[in-house]
Chains A and B, each alone.
Chain A
């Protein structure tokens, strides 16, 4: 069947592939905190080594009816439907920022429930549809 040389190359390569996969898995697992782009309110709630001075990002949905606009700043609640964090921010928000939509805030935690943002990004979800369909969906809900 297979020549001996080919067979030994094959076994060597398979072992190499498996061990590389394992190494990559463990590296990514260890670095998980750095790989994630933001933390959800629940993750913040359970996070042990939390730092209140460093810049971090939190993300979730802008809670319905939570957005309060004043002259200079805005205040809203980020929720993951389990836990919530109150966010204040002054500056421009992206066009897609709105209640019920995904959002990521970059800034500093004051405590586990209160966040001061200095950058707001809108997170888009995986749903794509024409405006009419979205309206029809809203009506049927």
Chain B
């Protein structure tokens, strides 16, 4: 499967695939939103503000997952120096950045009516804000360090340091007392979300993953073309 992301495969990638992904994304998100906003029930204590979760939780998952990829790519990159892995990480960063911002904003919109406050500095919220900062620093390095090798090295170091933040975010709610509630979906036990709410959550997650995939493929293809162009210019 990984072979499909090799440069030559991506450059051959035509707009047909992107278009079909786009159509399926619109369909999935449409169904997901109908389900999340109209068909699913309100929560027994939160009422309708539970619907914010259908955007908040998938955004957080994607933000964490993408940084995980960036971190691992950074390790591989410093050891083996594979260029296309770097470019994949570079293309993922803006998407993860936007989703961590969405996660924080929707979370705080939910926090005001539920907790009674927009923002607190508890372990979960703080570590999530740190993730956003890591994304921003990572992106800014690629933007402002013009030399590719240099930018590659510095951003990889940032990617690796940021990797340590991920388990802290994930387990902050278990390790310390936080205002944020613990995870409802875990690997070890049954989800504590009723299935009428779990189904739209999963659909919305799928839709947002497909969206991210589209943006990623477009960015990645552009990066590869830029690289090819640079090589040509050097000759």
A residues lining the B interface (CB < 8 Å)? 6, 9-10, 13, 17, 20-21, 24, 28, 32, 35-40, 59, 93-97, 101, 104, 120-135
Task: Find out whether the CB atom of A128 lies under 8 angstroms from the CB atom of B176.
Answer: no
Decide yes or no: A130 and B178 within 8 Å by CB, A94-B114, A94-B116, A121-B115 being known contacts: no
A17 to B113, CA, bound (A): 41
On chain A, the residues within 8 Å of B26 by CB distance are none
A–B pairs, 21, beta carbons within 8 Å: A10-B79, A24-B164, A37-B121, A37-B122, A59-B177, A94-B114, A94-B115, A94-B116, A104-B179, A120-B116, A121-B116, A121-B120, A126-B182, A127-B184, A127-B193, A128-B50, A128-B193, A128-B194, A129-B194, A130-B43, A131-B43
Least CB distance from B127 to A in Å reads 10
A125 to B114, CA, bound (A): 11
Least CB distance from A1 to B in Å reads 13
Which of B43, B78, B113, B115 is the one whose CB lies under 8 Å from A128? B43
Is B183's CB within 8 Å of the partner chain A?
Answer: yes
Docked complex: B39-86 residues within 8 A CB-CB of A: 41-46, 50, 53, 75, 78-80
Decide yes or no: A124 and B181 within 8 Å by CB, A9-B79, A20-B161 being known contacts: yes
Interface of A is mostly: mixed
Task: Find out whether the CB atom of B41 lies under 8 angstroms from the CB atom of A130.
Answer: yes
B residues lining the A interface (CB < 8 Å)? 41-46, 50, 53, 75, 78-80, 113-117, 120-123, 160-161, 164, 168, 176-179, 181-184, 192-194, 196-197
Task: Find out whether the CB atom of A127 lies under 8 angstroms from the CB atom of B192.
Answer: yes
Least CB distance from B48 to A in Å reads 12
Which of A35, A101, A130 is the one whose CB lies under 8 Å from B176? A35
On chain B, the residues within 8 Å of A125 by CB distance are 181-182
On chain B, the residues within 8 Å of A135 by CB distance are 44
Task: Find out whether the CB atom of B116 lies under 8 angstroms from the CB atom of A93.
Answer: yes
Task: Find out whether the CB atom of B115 lies under 8 angstroms from the CB atom of A133.
Answer: no
A42 to B184, CA, bound (A): 25
Least CB distance from A36 to B in Å reads 5
Q: Closest B residue to A131 by CB, please name it.
A: B44
